[in-house]
């Protein structure tokens, strides 16, 4: 069973530790602009929500890529961009309904969350457990449906 990132926006304090850890892991710098996870603030900072690639089962980014630069990592389930194959056409950025595939002007390629090879640093450093990495059967549609049923019972 694969694992997945679970985000609890009620626990997010907008500390940006996840963005810093991600940018350092992938780019070797502490720069939130280079992070593959972002903190989105609503109501002028009253509510913060971390968001990143959800590793969709039906990965539109992967299907849209004309050169097959996005493939599934069989050990983590992550849809990963191979920078040696990516031509920077940005079709995947348009195909992603969540806007979590980003074009990097420095490299001329795209980048997205790759779950850090199975040890996502965003979850590792989150001080409030707003981001956790759990068994995938605790995420997704069934979890949302069960929560909705409990809320209306």
Written as one string, the DSSP assignment of 23-64 is HHHHHSS--GGG-SSEEEEEGGGTEEEEE-----SS-HHHHH
Check: CB of residue 129 under 8 Å from CB of residue 25: no
Could you report the per-residue pLDDT of 35-52, keeping only the tens digit for each?
Answer: 999 999 888 767 889 999
| pLDDT at residue 153 in the model | 59
Do 14 and 46 share a domain, yes or no? yes
Do 125 and 144 share a domain, yes or no? yes
Q: Is 150 exposed, middle or buried (0-12, 13-18, 19+ CB in 10 A)?
A: exposed
Q: Is 80 helix (H, G, I), strand (E, B) or coil?
A: strand
The predicted model scores a pTM of 0.85
| pLDDT at residue 47 in the model | 85
| pLDDT at residue 151 in the model | 54
| pLDDT at residue 103 in the model | 96
| pLDDT at residue 1 in the model | 75
Residues 6+ apart with CB under 8 A from 64: 91, 92, 94, 95
Do 6 and 25 share a domain, yes or no? yes
Do 87 and 123 share a domain, yes or no? no
Do 107 and 60 share a domain, yes or no? yes
| pLDDT at residue 139 in the model | 52
Do 67 and 40 share a domain, yes or no? no
Do 66 and 139 share a domain, yes or no? no
CATH number at residue 67: 3.30.70.20
| pLDDT at residue 31 in the model | 96
Residues 6+ apart with CB under 8 A from 8: 129, 130, 131, 132
Token reading at 4? 């997945």
Do 29 and 41 share a domain, yes or no? yes
Do 45 and 80 share a domain, yes or no? no
| pLDDT at residue 44 in the model | 76
| pLDDT at residue 142 in the model | 54
| pLDDT at residue 131 in the model | 97
For the chain, residues with pLDDT lower than 50 are 141
| Owning domain of residue 2 | 1-52+115-153
């Amino acid at each position: 069973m694969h694992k997945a990132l679970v985000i609890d926006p009620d626990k997010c304090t907008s500390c940006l530790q996840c963005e810093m850890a991600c940018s350092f892991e992938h780019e070797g710098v502490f720069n939130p602009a280079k992070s593959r996870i972002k903190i989105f603030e609503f109501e002028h900072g009253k509510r913060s929500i971390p968001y990143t690639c959800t590793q969709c089962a039906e990965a539109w980014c992967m299907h849209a890529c004309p050169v097959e630069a996005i493939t599934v990592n069989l050990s983590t389930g992550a849809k990963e961009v191979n920078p040696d194959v990516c031509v920077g056409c940005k079709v995947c950025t348009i195909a992603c309904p969540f806007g979590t595939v980003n074009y990097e002007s420095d490299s001329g390629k795209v980048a997205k969350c790759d779950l850090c090879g199975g040890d996502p640093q965003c979850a590792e450093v989150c001080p409030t457990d707003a981001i956790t990495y759990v068994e995938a059967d605790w995420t997704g549609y069934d979890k949302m449906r069960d929560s909705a049923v409990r809320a209306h019972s």
